[in-house]
Structures are given as structure tokens and as C-alpha cells.
Amino acid sequence: MDFNTLVPGKTGLAGIDVDALLLVVVGAKMPATLEGPLGSVIAEAVAAGDFALKAGQVLYAHRVAGVKARRVSFVWAPDAGPKAMRRAVAAGVALVKSGGASQMAVAVTGAAPLMDAGAAEALVLAVHDATYVYRATKPSAPSVPKLERVTLVCNPAEVDALAAGLARGEALAAGVALARECANRPANHCTPTYLAEQAQKLGKSHGLKVEVLDRKDCERLGMGSFLSVAQGSEQPPKFIVMRWMGAGKDVAPLVLVGKGITFDTGGISIKPAAEMDEMKFDMGGAASVLGTMRAVAGAKARVNLVGLIPACENMPSGRAVKPGDVVKSLSGQTIEILNTDAEGRLILCDALTYAERFKPAAVVDIATLTGACVIALGHHRSGLFSNDEALAGELLAAGEAALDPAWRMPLDDEYDEALKSNFADMANVGPRAGGAITAAMFLKRFTSKLRWAHLDIAGTAWRSGANKGATGRPVALLSRWVLSKAAAPAPAAKSGRAGRAKKA
């Protein structure tokens, strides 16, 4: 799919020659700017009660006389901000989707100011979101007519900003799509080995350095906690290290750590059967790291970013770790595993310790960590925990701006009491109450040398029910944050430098 901008000619919106025109009508008053046949359609529809200037209103018109676009969807929006744009596109694209349109134009009409770069970015994401179909293991999935080109109609003064927003949106959308594709794949396809292959592939296509540590490597390092989770499975564990070096060698990197449990049965503390299939999504954190690496590398951002993914299955077997077993983490601290279903923290703690070697500016781990977080925050906001005020503020702001919101949760010392053990430095679980917080407190014990944040995405990484599937969250939040840390791109060379032909 291709996105571009267009400044309409003398004939205005009516003269734009596309399969479908999505016209977003902004504001509480009929826009005076909308004249001609399109203006008449909407005025008549309002008069007849078929369209109103309020939320949820969509009007579809076919072959309007005097309008070049074959189909027109009118959608109302309260303003032209990113959120409104996302909703408008979601509502409007549905109509275009069924009609076999391969080129669509989107125009905003109404009270100024109209779109900005952020809204253009949101538009790209919304179009991709509305047209995404999972096919990897369902080739019979109904085919959606392929949208080849989406054109954003704007004023000459807006072209540069909106084109930049569209380009950012495309890099981001590719990252979101990669995360969804990985997470949607069933666990017999998406194994730790598959995740490692995806990382290698991404490395080749996007210029990342990728290294995959196997069981032996992890043993040598002393990742006893990670390996204790992996030991019950026939699938070999993989510890994936990805590096995007977009800034100078001496610039401290940001590190992302993604939970990569490709299937979580609970292990010996086995889960109930109902909805256990959804535990294929337990690598959603890993998927979001892959997706963010792709978005950041795709944008050629001038930032150093390391992605770490401890990947394994959590299975019960004769070799599986048992309740009461004590293991030694890479940090040297010992852990009494009271519940083998609290495995995410056991793989993340070794990855967090491993992150220290990069002397990072900040570390963010992303994990479908606790059912308790879903109880606390539902499916709208991810849980955010951090030992650093500034970092927490940055991530919250990135989430708001990217329409991928999070909510800060506490890390008071009082919660740490719950992790006391008579047989090791700590237990891996506390009581049920405050479960998302004790999980974060466990991780905090491995982050004393780091500026660290933890995102619990158990409620936001996938949807259940009829629309079951991965959301691609929080790729948008993470990418926005990482890109906010990037140095501005080098200005395009102006004079004809040696070896570089200047285009006419």
C-alpha cells in the first residue's frame, strides 16, 4: 500500500479521480467550504435526517452526479486530531472495503485547523488496521480488495508536514503488522526457533545485527532462571539479541526486553483448559520488540536500540521445573519457584541482568505478565511501572500521543514483603492481591543498576472473543518513545557533493 498527498485542482474535491473518496466532515456546523455537488449531497442528507453532525454518522453515496470519485463516504468527526481521524477512517473504510476500491482519497473539510502530521500518521495506521487480514494458517480467509493507493488531500502549505506524517505512519504500520503476524501465529508455528528466524530475517532486510544464544550459551552465562522455564519443553530455548546502531558508537543505547513465551501452559502449576489457546499470545512482548525494531530501523532513526528476547515454552513434563525448586539467576540471586505459572518474570529477570552489559540509557521490558493487570486496568491501558520518574513520564506521554495509552502503577517497598522466601533470596510469587504489582516488584529486584520501566500488556496485546487476535500493541507507544530520543535526521546534502549526482 502506498500513501501520498494531493493538492486538488480548480475542480476541487469533486474533480479527484479515485475509486473512493472518504470525506471527513469536521465540527458542529455544516462546513461552508464544502460547495458543489458534494456540499449538496450532505446538505440534503442532513435536511432529510439521513446524516447528522455527530458521532458515529456515516453516509455512503454511489456515483454522485458531477463527482469524479465513484464512491463517497461521508464521516463526521469532532475535530481533525489523531484520535478522531482513527475513528473516522475505521468507520469510513468499512464501506470502501466491500466495494473493491483500489485507490482511495481522504479529505478533511470543516473548521480550521485541519490535519497535522500526527493525524496523518494515525490515518495510515487506521487504514492498515482496517484492512489487515490474518492468512498465515487460514488461506481461505475472505479476501479484501487490495487498496493500492491512499491519497491524503491537503493545501499546498500542508504537504511537507503531512507527507512526513504519512512516511512515519508507514514505518510504524509495518512494525505493527509484524507484531500482529508473529503473535497471531499458533504456537506450533511460532516457536522460539521461529522467533529467532524472524529476528534474523529482520536483521538482513533492515540492517540490524542479530545474535541468537542457544541453551549452551545461556548455561555458560549462568541464566539459570530463564533455563528453568525452558527445561520442560521439547522446543529449544533461544535468547535473541538485536542491535540497531543508528547513532554514534559512543551513544548509550535504549534496550527493549520482550517476554517471549511462545506457549504458556502454566507448567506443573498447570492452567485450566478454558481459553488456554490464548496463551499462544504470551509472546506478545517479544512481538512488540520485533515490531518496534522494524519501525525504528524502517525510519532509519538516529538512535541506538537493542532488542532482547528470551524465548521458550512453558510446559509440564518429566523434566519440568517443580514448585519449590530453587534456581540461580544470572544476577546471582536465588529464586524459589512456588508457582511455575509465574514464568514470565523468571525469563525476564535474566534478560534484565543481561541488559546491564550494554550500559543502556534506559531499559523497558514488555510482557503479557499477569492476569491481575487485566483485572486492574481492563483492555484499554497497559500497566506501566518504573523506578525513574522522567522515564515514566516519557512513556506515558508517548502512549497518549500514539493512541496506545498506559497507566502508571505503584512500586512501593511495602509490596516487596510478599516475595520473602525461607529457602531462597526471593519467591517468584506473592498472594493474589496486587498480583501485577508483586510481579513488577520481582523484576525491580533485578534493576538496581538500570533506569527501568516495565509494561504489563496482558490486557492490551490481544483481543478475545469473536475478534480474537493480536493488536500489535504497544509498538506504537514504544516506537514513538524511541523516535523521540532520536537525533534529528541529517539535512539533505544541498550542494553536489562528490560521488552524488544531483537530481534535476
Catalytic site positions = 271, 345
Residue recorded with cell 485547523: 113
Whether the Cβ atoms of residue 299 and residue 198 lie closer than 8 Å to each other: no
Closest CA to 367 of 134, 170, 183: 183
Q: Minimum CB separation from ligand BES for residue 368, in Å? A: 5
Instruction: Name the binder of 348 from ligand BES, Mn ion, Zn ion, none, CB < 5-8 A by kind.
Output: none
C-beta closer to ligand BES: residue 109 or 370: 370
**What is the SS3 assignment for 6?**
strand
In angstroms, the CA 455 to CA 476 distance is 13
Residue 458's binding partner among Mn ion, Zn ion, ligand BES, none (Cβ under 5 to 8 angstroms by kind) is: ligand BES
The answer to whether 306 and 243 have CB atoms below 8 angstroms apart is yes
For ligand BES, give the closer residue by CB, 181 or 456.
456
DSSP letter, residue 186:
-
- Which residue(s) pair with 242 in the sheet? 210, 307
CB 69 within 8 A of CB 146: no
| Region 320-359 residues binding Zn ion, contact defined as CB under 5 A | 344
Q: Which residues contact 330 (CB under 8 A, 6 or more apart)?
A: 221, 222, 223, 224, 225, 226, 349, 350, 353, 354
Region from 64-72, 139-147, 193-201, 259-267 binding Zn ion, contact rule CB under 5 A: 259-267
The verdict on 158 binding Zn ion (CB under 5 A) reads no
| Dist CA 278 CA 167 (whole Å) | 33
Handedness of CA 144, 148, 150, 151 (dihedral sign): negative
**Chain residue at closest Cβ approach to ligand BES:** 371
In the complex, minimum distance from the CB of residue 269 to Mn ion, in angstroms, rounded to a whole number: 8
- Cβ nearer to Zn ion, comparing 130 with 346: 346
Return the exposure string of 469-495: e unless at least 16 CB atoms fall within 10 Å of the residue's CB, then b: ebbbbbbbbbbbbbbebbeeeeeeeee
Single out the residue of 57, 200, 339, 421 in contact with ligand BES (rule: CB under 6 A): 339
Residues 448-477 that bind ligand BES (CB under 6 A): 458
* Smallest gap from residue 314 Cβ to Zn ion (A): 6
343 belongs to the binding site for ligand BES (CB under 6 A): yes
229 binds ligand BES (CB under 6 A): no
The dihedrals phi and psi of 404, each to the nearest 5 degrees, come to -135, 65
**Cα–Cα dist 318/304, whole Å:** 42
Q: Would you count residue 344 as binding ligand BES (CB under 6 A)?
A: yes
3-state secondary structure 235-254: CCCEEEEEEEECCCCCCCCE
C-beta separation of 245 from 209 below 8 A: yes
φ, ψ for residue 217, nearest 5 deg = -60, -40
Q: Decide: is 341 part of the binding site for ligand BES (CB under 6 A).
A: yes
Answer yes or no whether residue 365 interacts with ligand BES by CB under 6 A: no
**Smallest separation, CB 373 to ligand BES (Å):** 8
- Residues 267-306: x where in contact with ligand BES by CB under 6 A, - otherwise, as a string: ---------------x------------------------
- Site for ligand BES, residues 74 to 103, rule: CB under 6 A: none
CB 456 within 8 A of CB 383: yes
Question: Could you say which of Mn ion, ligand BES, Zn ion, none residue 158 binds, taking C-beta under 5 to 8 angstroms by partner kind?
Answer: none
Work out which of 96, 152, 342, 437 binds ligand BES, going by CB under 6 A: 342
Q: What's the grid cell of residue 7? A: 493538492
Residue placing its CB nearer to ligand BES in the complex, 466 or 488? 466
Q: Binding segment for ligand BES among 226-234, 295-303, 316-324, 339-347 (CB under 6 A)?
A: 339-347
For residue 489, is the peptide bond before it cis, meaning its omega torsion is within 30 degrees of 0?
no
DSSP 365-427: EEE---HHHHHHHTTTSEEEEES-HHHHHHHHHHHHHTT--EEE----GGGGGGG--SSSSEE
Give me the residue whose beta carbon is nearest to Mn ion: 341
Considering the rule CB under 6 A, would residue 372 count as an interface residue with ligand BES?
yes
Tell me the window of 6-14, 41-49, 362-370, 378-386 that interacts with ligand BES (CB under 6 A): 362-370
Residue 19 binding Zn ion, by CB under 5 A: no
Contact 314, 263 (CB under 8 A): yes
Task: Select from 121, 158, 170, 264 the one that contacts Zn ion (CB under 5 A).
Answer: 264
- Member of 371, 425, 468, 469 binding ligand BES (CB under 6 A): 371
Residue 395 touches which member of ligand BES, Mn ion, Zn ion, none, C-beta under 5-8 Å by kind: none
Least separation in angstroms between residue 93's CB and ligand BES is: 30
Interface ranges with Mn ion (CB under 5 A): 264, 341, 343
**CB nearer to ligand BES: pick between 185 and 294:** 185
Instruction: Enumerate binding residues for Zn ion (CB under 5 A).
Output: 261, 264, 282, 344
Instruction: Enumerate binding residues for ligand BES (CB under 6 A).
Output: 264, 282, 339, 341-344, 368-372, 374, 429, 435, 458
